[in-house]
Structure 1
Amino acid sequence: MITRIWEGRTKIEHSDIYTKIIMERDIPDYKKTEGFIKLTFLKRSDDEFTFFKLLTYWTSIKAITNFTGPNLEQAVAYKEDEKYLEDFPGNVTHFEIFAE
C-alpha cells in the first residue's frame, strides 16, 4: 500500500470555502478512482493561513496514476484552486506503508 501526501495552504478568509470545495469536489473524485483505498484530510489554522494536509491511501503506485496521470510528483490541481491556494499547484510525496 502507498500513501500519497499533499500539503497546501489558503489565506484564512478562504478556509471555509476551500474546505467546502474539498468536501464536494475533491473527495468524490478520489473515491471514484480505481485503486483508491481511503483518505485522511487534516487542517489547522493560525492568524493568517489555513494549512491542509491530505493523506491518500492506494493499492499501488500504478493505481495512483489512475488519478494523476503519468506525473506522480505533481499535485492534481483544478483551475479553481488558483483562486485559493497559496502554493499552486505544489508537489506531493509518496511513502510505502510497511506496517500498521
Structure 2
Amino acid sequence: MIAREWKARCPKQHEQGFIDYLYETGVKETSETEGFLGAQIFNRDLDGNAEITLISYWKTLECIKAFAGEDIGIAKLYPEDDKYELDPDRHVSHYKVVENRWV
C-alpha cells in the first residue's frame, strides 16, 4: 500500500470552505479511481492560517498514475483553488505503508 501526502495553507476564514471543496474535488476524483483505498484529511492552525493535509491510500504507484498522471510527484490542483487564497504545495510525497493497524 502507498500513502500519498499533499499539504496546503489558507486563511482561517476559508478553512471549512476549502475542506468542503477538497471533498468535492480531490477526494471525489480519487475515490472514483481504481486502486484507491481511502483518504484522510487533517487540519491544524499554523502561524494564524489553516494547514490542511490530505493523505490518500493506494494499492500501487500505477494506480496513482491513473489519477495524477505520469509524474506522480507533481500535485494535482483544481481551478477554484485560488478562491480560497490557497498556498498549495506543488509537490506530493509518497510513502510505502509499513504498518496499517486501526484500534
TM over 0.5: yes
Aligned residue for 1:74, secondary structure, equals: coil
- Runs ≥4 in structure 1, deviation > 3 angstroms? none
Per-residue CA deviation, residues 48-97 of structure 1 (Å, 9 max, x unaligned), is 2110111111000011001001111111101111332113x511000111
Q: Percent same amino acid at aligned positions?
A: 28
Instruction: State the match for 2:10 in structure 1.
Output: 10
Whole-angstrom distance in 2 between the partners of 1:97 and 1:46:
27
- SS of the residue corresponding to residue 50 of structure 2 reads strand
Distance 1:31 1:54 in 2: 13
Task: Work out whether residues 7 and 52 of structure 1, in 8 Å CA contact, stay in contact via their aligned partners in 2.
Answer: yes
Give distance in 1, aligned partners of 2:30 and 2:40. 11
Q: Which runs of 5+ in 2 are unaligned?
A: none
Could you tell me how far apart the structure 2 residues matched to 1:73 and 1:46 are? 24
For 2:78, the equivalent position in structure 1 comes to 78
Cα displacement (A) at 1:47: 6.1
Aligned residues: 99
Paired position in structure 2 for 1:55: 55
What is the RMSD of the two structures over their aligned residues, measured on CA atoms?
A: 1.5
Task: Say if 1:11 and 1:86, in contact at 8 Å, map to a contact too.
Answer: no
**Unaligned segments of structure 1, at least 5 residues:** none
Q: TM-score, normalised by structure 1?
A: 0.88
Distance in 2, Cα, partners of 1:47 & 1:92: 22
After superposition, give the CA deviation of every residue in 1:5-24 in whole Å (9 maximum; x if it has no partner).
11111111211211111122
